[in-house]
């Protein structure tokens, strides 16, 4: 991909991810447990991981988290967001590299690891090991939301590939 295309793609994807985070923040899920999310922005992370690369996905996620934290989220949540997204991306990257799973499996693991990362930070920050007990319910919802996000990201990634092949 030539440089200018890459720059505009970055900008566009950040805008999309930012918007998805915003949409998610104004339509919160009924709260069963704190931390439960659909993870719409993970569509962009998955797309970047599959169509650009791990480094690009990490940069995009990091910029999105910073933007979100400084605009409509709370700054205190920055550490949690970075830990969640970091662990999530790392595990998705490793799982993708094995080549044994589809984008849906990768997405599910990403969703669960997002929660695991946040809970680990929370356990350290507020010093309460009991928080691990909310991981099962979060993981259960993570399987559901991860599947939906994985299917969506799969469709988008495929379409984009088709567009790329037909515009050259």
Partner 1 sequence: MKKNDIILIVSLLAVIGIFVLITQLVSKPGAYAVIKIDGKIVEKLPLDQDTKVEIHGAGGGTNTVVVKNGSVFVQDADCPDRYCVKHKKIKADTETIVCLPNKMVIEIVGSKNDKSSIQLDEFAQ
Where are the extended beta strands (E) located within 6-76? Answer: none
First-to-last CA distance in the chain?
Answer: 11
User: What residues make contact with partner 1 under the rule CB under 8 A?
Assistant: 31, 34, 74, 76-77, 80, 100-102, 104-105, 108-109, 112, 122, 125-128, 130-131, 133-136, 139-140, 143, 147
Closest to partner 1 by CB, 9 vs 137, is 137
Residue 5 class from Cβ within 10 Å (0-12 exposed, 13-18 middle, 19+ buried)? exposed
Least distance CB 2 / partner 1 (angstroms): 33
Closest to partner 1 by CB, 58 vs 104, is 104
Least distance CB 54 / partner 1 (angstroms): 20
Least distance CB 26 / partner 1 (angstroms): 14
Q: What is the dihedral of CA 108, 35, 31, 146, to 10 degrees?
A: -10
Three-state DSSP class for residue 117 = helix
Closest to partner 1 by CB, 41 vs 122, is 122
**Alpha-carbon distance 90 to 144, whole Å?**
20
Least distance CB 71 / partner 1 (angstroms): 14
């Amino acid at each position: 991909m030539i440089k200018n295309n890459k720059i505009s793609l970055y900008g566009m994807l950040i805008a999309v991810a930012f918007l998805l985070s915003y949409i998610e923040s104004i339509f919160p899920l009924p709260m069963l447990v704190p931390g439960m999310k659909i993870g719409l922005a993970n569509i962009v992370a998955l797309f970047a991981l599959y169509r650009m690369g791990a480094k690009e996905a990490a940069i995009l996620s990091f910029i999105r988290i910073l933007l979100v934290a400084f605009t409509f989220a709370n700054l205190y949540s920055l550490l949690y967001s970075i830990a969640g997204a970091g662990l999530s991306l790392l595990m998705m990257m490793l799982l993708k590299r094995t080549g044994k799973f589809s984008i849906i499996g990768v997405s599910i693991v990403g969703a669960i690891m997002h929660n695991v990362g946040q809970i680990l930070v929370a356990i350290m920050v507020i010093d309460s090991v009991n928080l691990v007990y909310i991981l099962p319910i979060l993981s259960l919802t993570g399987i559901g939301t991860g599947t939906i996000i994985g299917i969506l990201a799969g469709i988008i990634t495929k379409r984009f590939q088709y567009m790329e092949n037909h515009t050259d």
